[in-house]
Amino acid sequence: MGHPVTLAGLAAAGVVLALAGPFGTDGFALTTRLAYWPVLIVATYGAAALVNTTLAPVTRARPFWQDVVLTGLVAGAVVAIIVLAVNRAAFGLWPDPAELPGFLGTLFAITLVVNAVIALGFRHGPTARDQNRPAAILDRLPLDKRGPLVALSVEDHYVRIRTLKGEEMVLMRLADAMREVGDTDGTQVHRSHWVAFGQVRAVRRDGDRAILTMANGPEIPVSRANLPKIKEAGLLPR
């Protein structure tokens, strides 16, 4: 939400909608619309982004379209509550029972489209500036082992953090470790393993699974449920 591009986009969307006055708001004064639409845009976009971030450890293990639909449905419900609450509080408005299905359908459709854009942004590779920003999880390692991330693996209650300079066992959950990889381009390929795409040196099929040869350390299995993700990354033929 604090990125300059995001803020500029939200501000522009709020002003454009205020000037256009869609969804019956053209009957309100321009000053009212200039207050209403930016608030609504920031609140609903922020809620959708928060839903994406919260559900990421679960949905990112699924194919992209399932990620978009699942987070979109949850975000749509949250957005609907926000819009209804703002309209009620600001103008005392509430849709007629006959209009409510169409009203909610429009909200969910808009949320799904915007959510798809957010999901693409999350999955997009890091920018040149972001590539220079080390992953937060590296702060947990000794200085001599801090390097490009290779993989994360669960062992009992510990996570083995593997880099090109070595490895270290850290007491934490895999879900928490994955949240600290930052902009490193990778994904969870097994319930016990996360890998960095850039450190995969070879891939071979093993029945309905796959095996990844990494730049450092032992091979890592890919479960059948996660095969679509490595296909999407271009590591296996579709």
Residue 54 φ/ψ, nearest 5 degrees? -65, -40
Q: Which residue has the higher pLDDT, 60 or 200?
A: 200
Above 90 in pLDDT, residue 66? no
Cα–Cα distance for residue pair 20/214, rounded to 1 Å:
53
Where residue 129 falls among pLDDT bands split at 50, 70, 90?
very low
Above 60 in pLDDT, residue 162? yes
pLDDT of residue 33: 92
Above 50 in pLDDT, residue 54? yes
Above 70 in pLDDT, residue 130? no
Q: Which residue has the higher pLDDT, 168 or 2?
A: 168
pLDDT of residue 206: 87
**Six-digit token pair at 33?**
């619309």
Q: Where are the domains of the chain?
A: 4-124, 131-232
Query: Averaging pLDDT over each range in 24-28, 69-73, 187-191, 231-235, which range is the top one?
Result: 187-191
| Mean pLDDT, rounded, for 33-62 | 84
pLDDT of residue 181: 92
Residues in the chain: 238
Cα–Cα distance for residue pair 167/161, rounded to 1 Å:
5
Q: Which residue has the higher pLDDT, 9 or 123?
A: 9
Q: Which residue has the higher pLDDT, 191 or 54?
A: 191
pLDDT of residue 91: 86
> Spelled out in words, what is the top-level CATH class assigned to the domain 131-232?
mainly beta
| Mean pLDDT, rounded, for 108-131 | 68
| Mean pLDDT, rounded, for 132-138 | 79
Tens of pLDDT, residues 8-25: 989 999 999 999 988 888
pLDDT of residue 127: 45
Tens of pLDDT, residues 21-39: 888 888 889 999 999 999 9
Above 70 in pLDDT, residue 151? yes
